[in-house]
Amino acid sequence: MPRKNFALSAVAILLSIVVFLVPFAFILLTAMKTRQEASLLDFSWPTQFRFVQNFIDVVQARDYMLIIAFINSTILTVASVTLMVVFGAMVAFTLQRKRSRWNGLINGFVLAGLIIPPAVVPTIWVLQKAGLFRTLPGLILVEIAFGLAFVILLFRAFIGTIPRELDEAAVIDGAGPARLFFRVILPLLKPVIVTSIVVQSVAVFNDFTNPLYFLPGDQNATVQLTLYNFSSQYNTQYNLLFMNILLITIPPLIMFLFFNRQIVAGMTSGAVKG
């Protein structure tokens, strides 16, 4: 074992503080300042701490818009990720197990879903025809449609490692397709289910573009859009803007602290195999 390189470590840690920690410290410090002090935009210790006051101001702004946005984002994230994972797992299971001449085509669609940028205005047109434009269910369906491909890829790789004998045994015991999948297979997929839930929740929660296009309007804002509204409304109120950034960073931070391993597994899957 080569010994630890102290000089290199010191340089790396120092650089990591300057490059990665200072921006987060800046968010935290500015979120605690008074309006006048925050508007100086400098990196300094606050002379007066207004953390609680800023928090209350941000939450109360525009008729508790942030609370409504957090509720909307929670519904959006929970509903779309749940359905995305169930539907994606069903496709991945069938695609992996059932040999059919359509498999090539389906795999093609999955790759297309990863690569092709969604056509925005035509999607709005479809949503409008279905009466789903500017509605939360509409946006949920859109998030499912755009997120399915990644989930299917994650699941397909994992299902390949589950022996087919298990399916056969379940069938002998009289299980139909639904029972086989939901009672036998799905419980075995727990690791990849956790991974895809965590990764996709962060993605949907942080999504800005789709709510911007498909769910406009203040009363159904999602958290990323409140940030945007705040920044234009409080053009000079940097303390509140950064308090808002701080608040919407907390859910991903919690995810990161609890599910670091699963996130890493999800994001790197396929990297080794290419």
Partner 1 sequence: MATTTVHRSARTRSDASAAGRVRAHSPYTNWFYLPAAVIYGVLFLVPTVIAFYFSLTRWSIFDSKFIGFDNYKTFFQEPALVSSLWHTLVYAVLTSGLKVVLGLGLAMLLTSQIIGRGYLRSVVFFPVLVSTIGVGLTFTVLMNPERGLINQSLDLVGISGPGWLTDPSLALISVGLVDVWKGVGLATLIYIAGIVSIPQEYFEAARVDGAGAWDNFRHIVLPLARPATVTVIILSLIGGLRSFDLIWAMTKGGPGFTSDVIASVIYKQYQAGFYGLSTAGNVVLFLVVTAIILPLSRFLNRKEVEL
Binding residue for partner 1, selected from 108, 131, 191, 270, defined by CB under 8 A = 270
User: Residue 255 interacts with partner 1 (CB under 8 A)?
Assistant: yes
Q: Which stretch binds partner 1 (CB under 8 A): 45-53, 59-67, 168-176, 186-194?
A: 168-176
Residues 57 and 73 sit within 8 Å (Cβ to Cβ):
no
User: Residue 161 interacts with partner 1 (CB under 8 A)?
Assistant: no
Binding residue for partner 1, selected from 66, 197, 215, 248, defined by CB under 8 A = 248
**Structure token digits, residue 156:** 């397909």
Amino acid at 243: M
Binding residue for partner 1, selected from 47, 52, 104, 165, defined by CB under 8 A = 165
Per-position x/- string for 199-218, each x denoting binding to partner 1 as judged by CB under 8 A, each - no binding: ---x---x-xx--xx-----
Q: Which stretch binds partner 1 (CB under 8 A): 15-23, 51-59, 64-72, 189-197?
A: 15-23
How long is the chain? 274
CB of 189 to partner 1, least distance (A): 14
User: Residue 56 interacts with partner 1 (CB under 8 A)?
Assistant: no
CB of 49 to partner 1, least distance (A): 20
User: Residue 256 interacts with partner 1 (CB under 8 A)?
Assistant: yes
Can you tell me the distance from the alpha carbon of 87 to that of 96, in angstroms, rounded to the nearest whole number?
A: 14
Can you tell me the distance from the alpha carbon of 81 to that of 219, in angstroms, rounded to the nearest whole number?
A: 23
Residues 75-94 that bind partner 1 (CB under 8 A): 83, 87-88, 90-91, 93-94
User: Residue 14 interacts with partner 1 (CB under 8 A)?
Assistant: no
Q: Which of 48, 151, 158 is nearest to 96 (CA)?
A: 158
**Which DSSP category does 170 fall into?**
H
The smaller minimum CB distance to partner 1, of residues 59 and 184, is found at 184
CB of 53 to partner 1, least distance (A): 21
- Its sign, for the CA torsion 209, 139, 186, 104, is negative
CB of 5 to partner 1, least distance (A): 6
Binding residue for partner 1, selected from 108, 131, 160, 177, defined by CB under 8 A = 177
Can you tell me the distance from the alpha carbon of 83 to that of 65, in angstroms, rounded to the nearest whole number?
A: 27
Can you tell me the distance from the alpha carbon of 148 to that of 231, in angstroms, rounded to the nearest whole number?
A: 32
User: Which positions ≥6 away from 116 have C-beta within 8 Å?
Assistant: none
E-strand spans in 30-124? Answer: none
Q: Which of 145, 147, 262 is nearest to 206 (CA)?
A: 147
